[in-house]
Structure 1
């Protein structure tokens, strides 16, 4: 066993592979394992995979309860809503500032718990002195101070990770033109808050639909995102096909959407005829009173 680990390291990790993430490295290791199954050790008549197929039934079964392999830390959340873990820092929701949390550090990721509730999950940083921020952790603070949003490090990292797509920027630019810098940015932050209750791809679809129709409000994006989610779960609810070369650009207002979901109103239209009769009666009484005063 130990000799084969050394063989694997010398043949696949020398020189050290150049990868961008641990996920990419793990995928490479999986491919090397498959290739190694066909290898014969020395002059043995069977391959590695054939010997393992013989030995596998003799191995003891895995335990029923999962074994925690991570290392636990209990750091305190600083004023920047970050926790120090080894030589790096990771963000947590701002409501936890000043509290002590539990961090379980694994080989490729770490999980942050407030008591027994998971509040954050990050890919583990490999470099030293690095910071990994989640934009969603700062939205409550940014909605109160939207001026800090454009230059924030959390926004820059969200762009690099692909979580802040070009459609976000396009919708944001139009919102600032219509509502102004401050209110347009606040509207975008309200859109980002939708991702807590709706999948990211549905929010992006809602942004695209609202942008085509010129609807620069978070309510319009929320409605279109829910329509996209409904279309995914119920394909029969998908609107009619759009002719080639044309793009649907209609966004239903929340008021119209609510009315369309109400049962039909079969009551007769109201009439003001009784009130008109009272007005005429009042005018007649006033005329009679004036005639009596004149006499």
Structure 2
């Protein structure tokens, strides 16, 4: 369905006649006689949203001619542009390359034609129906297991621990996976391409590790953070100092409190705060937070650049004078009133206690 949404967006409209299908499983629950099909409820909702009709080809050799040259064109495209197989680190980069190839294909002229593919499509695009005001929501609703993960297409992705046992909405895209709480994105992962793979984020497990700090050292989330570079050498140095001062459990809790600062402050500011705390010989999370706020404010409001001709702050500036405030007491009017009498208070010293003779 996401492929349809992306295709309609790329075309700039929806085909008005019909779209041919080879009885794809997500759409067809049962193949009946002729062209009758029992469609899935979700597919029917999708077609109704975009307002197009489906033309289902007859299975087998009888309906082979109804597919046109789709499979042949797919083979030509693969041989022309995907041989050898591209070596890319992510699906996002692969899709970026395919987009460039697709733009170049618009300039190609088919055999026996006088105009390019892009020119022909420009004329045919007038026959497309307009896109709806909103895209169809292709997300699914899944339950978070006790390991704070969800399973999508035999791959496992972590979500914040507060959602354990609850159901969250998942949007699986070609390049990434998004997890929603209502309309808010609570987790974002690059899509895994191998079955039974795991994608864990350390921040999703901090509340659990705060209660069970002993599981921190051997957790898969920590190993993933180290591999990605989000758990840096600065964090390692702070953790080592915390363990040396407070012990294993308490020292790990101090580290987790510092890691929680990343949720509300930029990573660069937190790292600067950790470095400043280590330099000052402190491993207090409060000190890290204060120094991180200083670093954040310095980044937001940069100081003016010093003139190269200005002397350094520690240099003695000749001709400097010490200024003092003028004494203004002499300007006040003199008070000639007599001092107040304390005779009334002296009577309290001679008063006998209550009940005495």
* TM-score (normalizing by structure 1): 0.69
Check conservation: 1:230, 1:237, Cα contact below 8 A: no
Structure 1 position 97 matched with structure 2 position 164: yes
Moved over 6 A (4+): 43-49, 59-62
In 2, the alpha carbon distance for the partners of 1:145 and 1:138 equals 10
Q: 1:172 is matched with which residue: 239, 247, 252?
A: 239
SS in 2 for 1:84: strand
Which position in structure 2 is the counterpart of 1:228? 295
Which position in structure 2 is the counterpart of 1:245? none
Q: 1:206 to 1:47 in 2, by over 3 A?
A: farther
Which position in structure 1 is the counterpart of 2:151? 84
SS in 2 for 1:182: helix
Offset of residue 231 of structure 1: 1.7
In 2, the alpha carbon distance for the partners of 1:93 and 1:22 equals 25
In 1, the alpha carbon distance for the partners of 2:259 and 2:127 equals 50
Q: Deviations over 1:225-253 (max 9, x none)?
A: 22222122111289x89xxxxxxxxxxxx
**RCO higher in 1 or 2 (8 Å CA, sep ≥ 6)?**
2
Which position in structure 1 is the counterpart of 2:86? 17
Structure 1 position 147 matched with structure 2 position 214: yes
In 1, the alpha carbon distance for the partners of 2:124 and 2:263 equals 44
Offset of residue 43 of structure 1: 8.4
Offset of residue 146 of structure 1: 1.0
In 2, the alpha carbon distance for the partners of 1:15 and 1:169 equals 42
Q: 1:146 to 1:52 in 2, by over 3 A?
A: farther
Greater fraction of residues in helix: 1
Which position in structure 1 is the counterpart of 2:250? 183
Structure 1 position 26 matched with structure 2 position 95: yes
Residue range with higher mean Cα deviation, 39-48 or 193-202: 39-48
In 2, the alpha carbon distance for the partners of 1:84 and 1:237 equals 52
Q: Deviations over 1:25-81 (max 9, x none)?
A: 2333344346556666558787777x48966995869747341363x3222211111
Check conservation: 1:77, 1:99, Cα contact below 8 A: yes
SS in 2 for 1:74: strand
Q: 1:206 to 1:66 in 2, by over 3 A?
A: farther
SS in 2 for 1:158: helix
Name the larger-Rg structure.
2
Q: 1:174 to 1:25 in 2, by over 3 A?
A: same
Check conservation: 1:73, 1:85, Cα contact below 8 A: no
Which position in structure 1 is the counterpart of 2:180? 113
In 2, the alpha carbon distance for the partners of 1:230 and 1:45 equals 63
Structure 1 position 215 matched with structure 2 position 286: no
In 1, the alpha carbon distance for the partners of 2:155 and 2:73 equals 34
In 1, the alpha carbon distance for the partners of 2:76 and 2:137 equals 25
Structure 1, unaligned stretches of length 5 or more? 242-284, 286-295
Equivalent runs, 1:1-295 vs 2, <5 Å: 7-33=76-102, 36=105, 51=119, 63=131, 65-68=133-136, 70=138, 72-236=139-303
Structure 2, unaligned stretches of length 5 or more? 1-68, 308-348, 350-357
